[in-house]
Amino acid sequence: MRIDLSGRTALVTGSTQGIGLAIAAGLAQAGARVGINGRSEGRVGGAITALRDRVPGADLVPVVADVTVEIEAEHAVSELGAVDVLVNNLGVFGAADPLEISDDEWRRYFDVNVLAAVRLTRLLLPGMTDRGWGRVLNIASDSAIVTPAEMIHYGVSKTALLGVSRGFAKAAAGTGVTVNSVIAGPTHTGGVEDFVYQLVSRDLPWEEAQREFMRLHRPQSLIQRLIEPEEIANMVVYLSSPLASATTGGAVRVDGGYVDSILP
């Protein structure tokens, strides 16, 4: 199976590290011109340097913007021109006592995890539909379906993102543009390492801490390990390609079998 995205432009939000960086690498490897997004020039520049080492000759565009702010999201779009593939990857998460989460913190999670994706989709979807081709991918989570007691604000925001994806898929019906969610399972990133150590002893070596985390907090996982970011990226690259032309309005799982359900 050969995926060729030559001549396509992609924007990956929050792509200076973790899953976003892996997705950017995968899209660049498939030949796409990729906008690398972060809030600081230093982070974006560092990510571009790392990506050029991984993908020699990659066509990468720095997009320094906080896409949770409307005027900066508009700037991000103007930096790239016509965007064919939008990957709404930006997100925040963290453990919190459900009874201690303030209204402001609830709003912050929705601003980052939901409204940033809505805003960029609203800005870019009309151009995609006019051109008759496009892909919108929203990076969701197993927490959208299995709401974790230790971070319900995160889980609920990702549940909302599934609805956003389905709704915009309907708005793009019959245009050649597809909109999907990717349900990422527990994934090995720097941020997740910090999260794991919030829940298990910091005295444990990482491999042991990971096993303890999966045993105690994610026992439903069928692969019984954290997923690597590149495994998420593989699905995103496929869904971004012409090969996935009949997949839209879906919530596609890359969760290691964590969600105990046949659908979605």
Sequence ranges of the domains in the chain: 9-187+228-251, 192-226
Rounded Cα–Cα distance for residues 117 and 188 (Å):
23
Catalytic annotation present for 197:
no
Q: Which residue(s) pair with 181 in the sheet?
A: 138, 251
The dihedral region occupied by 234, where left means phi > 0, alpha psi between -120 and 50, and beta the remainder, is alpha
- In the CATH scheme, what is the homologous superfamily, with its name and number, of domain 9-187+228-251? NAD(P)-binding Rossmann-like Domain (3.40.50.720)
Give the pLDDT of residue 192.
83
Supply angle C-alpha 188, 179, 15, rounded to 5. 35
Kindly report the number of other CB atoms within 10 A of residue 222's CB atom.
11
Digits of tens for pLDDT over the chain (264 positions)? 899 999 999 999 999 999 999 999 999 999 999 999 999 999 999 999 999 999 999 999 999 999 999 999 999 999 899 999 999 999 999 889 999 999 999 999 999 999 999 999 999 999 999 999 999 999 999 999 999 998 999 999 999 999 999 999 999 999 999 999 999 999 998 878 888 998 999 999 999 999 999 999 889 999 988 999 999 999 999 999 999 999 999 999 999 999 998 887
Q: What is the pLDDT of residues 151-172, one digit of tens each?
A: 999 999 999 999 999 999 999 9
Beta bridge partners of 178: 135
Q: For residue 112, give the nearest of 11, 39, 16 by alpha carbon.
A: 39
β-bridge mates for residue 134, sequence order: 177
pLDDT at 39: 96
Rounded (10°) CA dihedral 205, 206, 208, 210: 160
How big is the CA angle at 50 (ends 52 and 55), to the nearest 5 degrees? 30
Q: Which of 109, 154, 197, 238 is catalytic?
A: 154
- pLDDT tens for 66-90 read 999 999 999 999 989 999 999 999 9
